């Protein structure tokens, strides 16, 4: 039975771009994850509805993952009726993976700063490790000072200096990792498309072709 940690990267992926893909690739290598599951969200609880339907965001994520054996795309949140909480997804994955296999939730620094607003955030540490990737615009120097107190406390108590420590227990640790700084966001890509400018080279050509074929974000 496979016991290697499973990486989980949730997001709206509206649309998926190279910031997501480098995060998955670099943390996959750093943490020696055989799999990184990309999980496009259904109805995100923390923000307005995504610009395009879950089916399109899922299709774009599948195109982006093509040819990379490590990346798997999951439709479970898009298929779920009602709000898609990361807690619920991790609980399902935990039930499927069994009690001992490590789960590793991958998040960007911007998402982690909001973590204490997530549904049952505290219990997420009981289901998975949390690995925080640096992201341009969210400097991580002395950054625990910018976290709300309860999150800063968890962060300091759980921080592991050695990324491969995620292999040693099923859940509960925090790792912070520098990745190639790519100042790419889905918001900026949507804005470019609306303004008639091309986001080429910020996301895979296959995804851009899909956007154009289906006239998304225009």
Q: How far is the CB of 98 from ligand ATP (least distance, A)?
A: 26
What is the spatial distance between Cα 98 and Cα 101, in angstroms, rounded to a whole number?
6
Residue whose CB is less far from ligand ATP, 49 or 164:
49
Residue whose CB is less far from ligand ATP, 120 or 138:
138
Q: How far is the CB of 147 from ligand ATP (least distance, A)?
A: 15
Q: Which residues contact 202 (CB under 8 A, 6 or more apart)?
A: 17, 18, 184, 188, 189
Cβ-proximal residue to ligand ATP, closest one:
108
Q: How far is the CB of 187 from ligand ATP (least distance, A)?
A: 3
Q: How far is the CB of 84 from ligand ATP (least distance, A)?
A: 12
Residue whose CB is less far from ligand ATP, 97 or 184:
184
Locate 124 and state its tokens: 């997420």
Q: What are phi and psi of 173, to 5 degrees?
A: -95, 165
**Cis bond leading into 96, ω under 30°?**
no
The three-state secondary structure class of 7 is strand
Residue whose CB is less far from ligand ATP, 52 or 171:
52
Number of Cβ within 10 Å of residue 14's Cβ equals 24
Residue whose CB is less far from ligand ATP, 123 or 191:
191
Q: What are phi and psi of 8, to 5 degrees?
A: -130, 120
Q: How far is the CB of 58 from ligand ATP (least distance, A)?
A: 13
Which residues contact ligand ATP by CB under 6 A? 11-14, 19-20, 23, 107-108, 110-111, 133, 135, 182, 184-187
Residue whose CB is less far from ligand ATP, 98 or 148:
148
Q: How far is the CB of 77 from ligand ATP (least distance, A)?
A: 12
Q: What are phi and psi of 56, to 5 degrees?
A: -70, -45
User: Do the Cβ atoms of 79 and 103 come closer than 8 Å?
Assistant: no
Locate 146 and state its tokens: 């910018």
């Amino acid at each position: 039975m496979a016991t290697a940690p499973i990486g989980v990267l949730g997001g709206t992926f509206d649309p998926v771009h190279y910031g997501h893909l480098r995060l998955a690739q670099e943390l996959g290598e750093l943490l020696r994850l055989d799999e990184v599951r990309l999980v496009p969200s259904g109805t995100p609880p923390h923000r307005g509805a995504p610009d395009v339907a879950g089916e399109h965001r899922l299709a774009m994520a599948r195109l982006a993952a093509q040819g990379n054996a490590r990346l798997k795309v999951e439709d479970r949140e898009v298929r779920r009726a009602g709000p898609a909480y990361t807690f619920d997804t991790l609980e399902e994955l935990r039930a499927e993976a069994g009690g001992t296999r490590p789960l590793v939730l991958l998040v960007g620094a911007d998402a982690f700063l909001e973590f204490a607003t997530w549904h049952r955030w505290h219990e997420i540490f009981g289901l998975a490790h949390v690995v925080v990737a640096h992201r341009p615009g969210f400097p991580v120097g002395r950054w625990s000072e910018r976290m709300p107190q309860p999150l800063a406390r968890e962060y300091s108590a759980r921080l592991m200096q050695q990324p491969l420590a995620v292999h040693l227990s099923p859940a509960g640790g925090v790792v912070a990792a520098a990745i190639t700084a790519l100042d790419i966001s889905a918001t900026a890509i949507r804005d470019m498309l609306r303004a008639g400018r091309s986001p080429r080279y910020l996301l895979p050509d296959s995804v851009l072709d899909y956007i154009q074929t289906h006239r998304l974000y225009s």
